[in-house]
Each structure stands twice: as C-alpha cells, then as structure tokens.
Amino acid sequence: MNLNEQVELLMQGTEYGDEGLHRTMETELRQRLVDAEKEGRKLRIYCGYDPRTADLHIGHTVTMRKLRQFQDLGHDVVFLIGTYTSLIGDPSDKDKLRPLLTPEQTMENARTYAEQAFRVLDKSKTTIRYNHEWLQDLKFADLIKLGSNFTIQQFLTREAFRKRWDGDDPVYLHEFFYAIMQGYDAFALRTDVQVGGTDQLFNIVTAARKIMTSLDARPNIGIIMSILPGTDGVVKMSKSLGNHIPLNSTPEDMYGKVMSIPDAAMGQYARLVTRWMPADVASFESDLKSGALHPRDAKMKLAYEVTSTYYSAAEADLAQAAFVRLFQQGGIPQEMPEYKLSDGQTILDVLLTAGLVPSKNEGRRMIDQKGVRLDGELLEKADTVISHPGVLQVGKRRFVRLV
C-alpha cells in the first residue's frame, strides 16, 4: 500500500467539523508516516477507554477498528485503560455530572473490556497500559503547571458544560481535570497518533497537543472518528436507549439488528464498522446510489460483513440463512396490521394496546416464554422501550408492523 492509500485508509470515517482542521491533521499524518519510514521506526498509536461498563456494543469498536488498521500497516498500538480517568468520568458528551466509580469497579470492568476488544485488535500486537501508572504520581505542583495551559473560558464554551451553565446546573471543578489528565496520557505514552470520537475533539486536538507542546514533546495527531448511530439511524448508539448492537450477542441477533438499520445509515456503518477498504466503501455507496445494488441486497452484504467480523464465516452464513428463511421465504406475511408507535412505549405497552395479547399478565407470559420478537430479534424484557419501527411477532402467527 503506497503512502496515499495509507493516508486515505487511516482518514476513512474521520470527522472534525472543520475542513481546515481536517487538512491539518491529514497533512501532519502524512508527514509523520514519511518521517517514520526515514527513521526506520513504527508510529505509536493509542486510544484510551474508560471502563465504566463491562458490556460493549459495536459503537465502541469504531476506534478499535481504526487501531486495527494501524496494526495491519505495521505500527505499534497501545490500548489504554483509563483506570484513573474513569474515576472522574468523561464529561465531554454528558449534560449532567457522571457518578464516580470506585477503583474496584474500574478494574473489574477493565478485565472484560480488554477481552472483548481483542475481537477486533490483534492481541499479539497490542500493548495494554493503565493510566494510573503515571497519573497517581502527579504532584499538586504538576497539576498547577498543566492547568496553566488552559482558560476557564475554553472549558465553558464546550457544549456539555455550556448547557449546564446556562441551565444553572452545577459544573464541578474536578470535571475540568479530565481533559488535562487525558492530555497527560498522550505525553506519558509519547504517542504519534491518538484516536478518539468526535466527543473527544477538545481533549485530543486541544488539550493533548497543548500539554505535549508545553512539555517539549512533539504533539500527537488526532484521528477523530465519527460517532456510529444506533439501529434507529439517528441517535448515538447507546445501551440505555435500546438502539445498540451488543458485541456479546449471537450471530443471528447481530445480523438481524444490522438488517434493521435505516437505509440512510448504511454508508456510516460501511465506513466505521467494516473491514472494507476505501475503494470498497466507495463502490458500495456508488452502487447503492445508482440502483445497481438493491437496498435490501446492500444491507444483507453489510450485515454479513459486520457479523463475520465478530464471528466465523460459517456462523455468519447460518445467521444469513436464518434471516432469509424467516423474512424472505414465507416466515413473515406480506400483509399485516400497522401500529403507530408513541414515544416511550414499552414492549408490554405495545403488546396490549395493539391487541396482540388480552392482558399484561399474558404479555409477560409470552415474553418469558421467548415468544416475542422484533425484526427477528428475541425480546426478553417487558419494560424495554421500543425505539425503532419494525415487524413485531407474537408466537408463530400474530404479526403487526410498527410504524
């Protein structure tokens, strides 16, 4: 792969919100690759993960996929677990204070987090580090020096803080430390490149680069990834919103969930969570736009690629066959009643108001007996909020199209 092809691949799926910043980061990346080749060394790449939950979904893997691309090009990757930063909790995309975690909670989550990450990363080429290794040794004088690189205005102009400030909600001083701590991580690791989502733009492009420069280190390059939308195709993928695709799922469930995303989201999924090269993504989107590839066939191709990324090709084959059998070979009727969803409705609400069950007790019984599915996905909790349209099936013969 020549230099231009490498840069195109590594910038695939990035989003900076500013074309000038995008060009700057791309130019710096190109030059760093050239310099590394001349010096006969590998680039050092890292991404930090705060283990505030033990259960990952494919939205978490967007940055891991980028790390894997760097690995495949022969560079060194550090998977940094935020054992110290997670004690605070990243406020970047939150409009309220995040609860503090205990060190015990952090380490327990970290163990399972790393195990799941290796479904994307090459374990033999990955170094795991923990940021308590250096952050716990910082002295108060060190924090004063690091903090002198920033103004309060820089933090308060950030959207999450501004919303709370304007709404008279408290903004706590310790939350400002997060960006400084993350910036110091980049310095401590002496990295060339830091990968993160758009919610990390300030932490990476402003904080880390400022701190590294102030400590006479070459500032790292920010590879800022777009945020993957959930199965609704609009809102950021989130377990709490019920629009997520779990990493520890089943092949059938993962395949079915990808098949449920809106057509408009297919391009984002192709760029962010597949192993496809830029030319493959461009061809996929071009064929879809021209009509050469039917949206249904395109989505099946996408669902197969995503599923086979986390499971074997044989398991992906079975998942696809199960989907075809259920949805394309008479398992689902062509005609069925429609039901208009209201915001906040749970599975049990819909079962009852759509007339699919005579009572709440019967609805709970059907769910407990694994008789309720949405777009082929088993629904197991009566109080789960339905966040997207689809085909709701109760038992073998009752169907309603949610709109």
- φ, ψ at 130 (rounded to 5°): -125, 130
pLDDT at 328: 62
| Closest residue by Cα to residue 391 from 346, 332, 349 | 332
Cα separation, 349 vs 97, whole angstroms: 32
- List, for residues 318-357, the tens digit of each pLDDT value: 999 988 877 665 566 666 788 888 888 999 999 999 888 8
Residue-range definition of the domain harbouring residue 116: 3-225
pLDDT at 184: 95
47 in helix, strand or coil? strand
**Are residues 202 and 84 part of one domain?**
yes
Extended beta strands in 113-266, E state: 126-130, 193-197, 221-225
Q: Is the pLDDT of residue 94 over 50?
A: no
Q: What is the DSSP letter of 229?
A: B
**Are residues 161 and 257 part of one domain?**
no
Q: Is the pLDDT of residue 99 over 70?
A: no
**What is the mean pLDDT of the segment spanning 88-97?**
50
**Are residues 358 and 287 part of one domain?**
no
- List, for residues 234-248, the tens digit of each pLDDT value: 889 988 777 889 888
**What is the mean pLDDT of the segment spanning 264-278?**
96
pLDDT at 169: 85
CATH of the domain at 215: 3.40.50.620
130 in helix, strand or coil? strand
Residue with tokens 């609704």: 232
**Are residues 145 and 8 part of one domain?**
yes
Count the neighbouring beta carbons within 10 Å of the beta carbon of residue 403: 9
Counting residues of the chain whose pLDDT is more than 90, the rounded percentage is: 54
Extended beta strands in 111-263, E state: 126-130, 193-197, 221-225
**What is the mean pLDDT of the segment spanning 37-63?**
89
pLDDT at 100: 64
Which among 31-35, 105-109, 153-157, 254-258 has the top mean pLDDT?
Answer: 31-35
pLDDT band, very low/low/confident/very high, at 97 (cuts 50, 70, 90): very low
Number of domains into which the chain is organized: 3
The residue length of the chain stands at 403
**Are residues 240 and 268 part of one domain?**
yes
- List, for residues 176-211, the tens digit of each pLDDT value: 888 899 999 999 999 999 999 998 999 999 999 999
- Which has the higher per-residue pLDDT, 131 or 388? 131
**Are residues 30 and 126 part of one domain?**
yes
Q: Is the pLDDT of residue 375 over 60?
A: yes
**Are residues 323 and 348 part of one domain?**
no
Q: Is the pLDDT of residue 382 over 70?
A: yes
pLDDT at 228: 95
Count the neighbouring beta carbons within 10 Å of the beta carbon of residue 5: 13
CATH of the domain at 338: 3.10.290.10
pLDDT band, very low/low/confident/very high, at 158 (cuts 50, 70, 90): confident
pLDDT band, very low/low/confident/very high, at 83 (cuts 50, 70, 90): confident
Q: Is the pLDDT of residue 95 over 50?
A: no
Residues 6+ away with beta carbon under 8 Å from 197:
62, 63, 224, 225, 226, 227
- Which has the higher per-residue pLDDT, 399 or 55? 399
**Are residues 375 and 338 part of one domain?**
yes
Sheet holding 193-197, edge to edge: 126-130, 76-81, 44-49, 193-197, 221-225
pLDDT at 53: 67
pLDDT at 358: 84
pLDDT at 337: 85
φ/ψ bin of 86: left (φ > 0), alpha (ψ from -120 to 50), beta (otherwise): alpha
Residues 6+ away with beta carbon under 8 Å from 349:
none
pLDDT band, very low/low/confident/very high, at 54 (cuts 50, 70, 90): low
**Are residues 324 and 337 part of one domain?**
no
**Are residues 268 and 312 part of one domain?**
yes
**Are residues 265 and 116 part of one domain?**
no
Count the neighbouring beta carbons within 10 Å of the beta carbon of residue 331: 15
**Are residues 41 and 153 part of one domain?**
yes
**What is the mean pLDDT of the segment spanning 114-124?**
89
Cα separation, 324 vs 315, whole angstroms: 14
Mean pLDDT of the chain: 88
Q: Is the pLDDT of residue 91 over 60?
A: no
3-state secondary structure 268-309: HHHHHHCCCCHHHHHHHHHHHHHCCCCHHHHHHHHHHHHHHH
Q: Are 131 and 181 in contact (CB under 8 A)?
A: yes
Cα separation, 319 vs 327, whole angstroms: 12
**What is the mean pLDDT of the segment spanning 375-400?**
83
